[in-house]
Structures are given as structure tokens and as C-alpha cells.
Amino acid sequence: PSSELMVNGERPPPIAKGTLDQRPLAHLLIYARERHLRGTMELGQNGSTASLVFEAGMLAKVATSNESASTPAQVSSRVRSLFSLPGSTPFAYYDKFDALPSAPPASIDPLSFVWHPVRDALGSKQVDAIVDRTAEVPLKIPANVDTDVFGFDAEENRVVARMRDRATLLTDLEKISPRAKRILYVLLVTKKVEAGAARP
């Protein structure tokens, strides 16, 4: 409940802050999910651009320009719009604090927002920095790992299917889709893959 999130009804000092250049929004959402965060992430000065409230790592509430989203569809639309923010936008995270106590809560997996901005907008240098380190390592998706949350299309899911079937090198995945490197990036940063032995 929101009342349990609040810290004496007052905004506590942030326990993390920076800019979107330092930590892209996709990475912030992944971090919130992994750490089961319970609190508020504010974008802009004092939340002037947006406030995102997390509950156990799930996205519970969103407000942009002081207007709260009241349905899951509105929450999704507002979050997607935030990926166009400039890299200079500051962020701050306030643990166990609900900046939107009157907004109706939802429960949306933050990972559902990650793939499209990575596919369409993330800089190649950021992708290369993560993926190139594993270029010589055959990687596999364990059978119990859910990838449906990313919303991959049919071609992208062929890359996923190959990695479920066998540990595969990046060079072989790129023969399936030109987006293979970005798919692998998302799977790596969300810890959905593991090293395996290549099959002849």
C-alpha cells in the first residue's frame, strides 16, 4: 500500500542519482526489476518531467507533467514517451517513497519496455561494449527463462529459438537476423543467457 511506502510523508534524500547519459532509462528499468525496488524514480529536476513508482520491482504508477496515468495502457504509453528524453535529463531514486500516493496502482513488468528503444535508438557503441565481450562465447537461453515479456517479432523470435535449441555464436545468430546483436544485448543485460558448449 502507498501508506507503507511513504517515509513520514516527506521526500527522503535520494539514494541514487545521475543523468540518462550515465544510465539510460532502459538500464534503470532493468535495475529496478532486478533489485525489486520499492520507491520512486524521478526524471528531471524534482520530478518535473516524470515520476515512476515501483513496487517490488514492478512499475506501479507513472505521472508525466503532473498528470497521472490511470490505466495500464496509459502507464505504458507514458513510459514509452520517456525514451525520447535527452541524455542530459537528471534522474534520482527515492527508496520506500511514493511520490504519487493518490494515483491508482498498476503492476507492469518494466522489462516489457526495454526491447524497442534498444532496437531503435540505443547507440551502437553501448551495444558493442556489452556484446563484443561475448563474441567468441556460444550462448544459450535456459529452458525456464521467459523472453515473451520483450515482445519480439517473428524474425527476432527465430534468434531466440536458435539459442533455446543450442548454444550459438553471435556470427551464426547474425545469419538469422540483422538485429541479432541487439537481441543478444537485451538478453545479456537482463541475464537471460548463459554460456554453453557449441554443438557441431
Helix intervals (H) in the chain? 2-5, 25-34, 72-82, 115-120, 124-131, 154-165, 170-173, 180-189
Q: Write the pLDDT tens digit of every residue in 34-85.
A: 999 999 999 998 778 999 999 999 999 999 987 888 888 888 889 999 998 9
pTM to 2 decimal places:
0.85
Contacts of 48 (CB under 8 A, 6+ apart): none
Query: Looking at beta carbons, which pairs linking 69-72 to residues 24 or more positions away fall under 8 Å?
Result: 69/103, 69/106, 70/103, 70/104, 71/106, 72/106, 72/108
**pLDDT value for 47:** 72
Strand order in the sheet with 90-95: 16-19, 90-95, 39-43, 50-55, 58-64, 67-68
Report the chain's mean pLDDT, rounded to a whole number. 91
SS3 at position 41: strand
- pLDDT above 70 covers a percentage of the chain that reads 94
Q: Write the pLDDT tens digit of every residue in 161-194.
A: 999 999 999 999 999 999 999 999 999 999 999 9
Q: What share of the chain is helix, strand, coil (3-state, %, to 5)?
A: 40, 20, 40
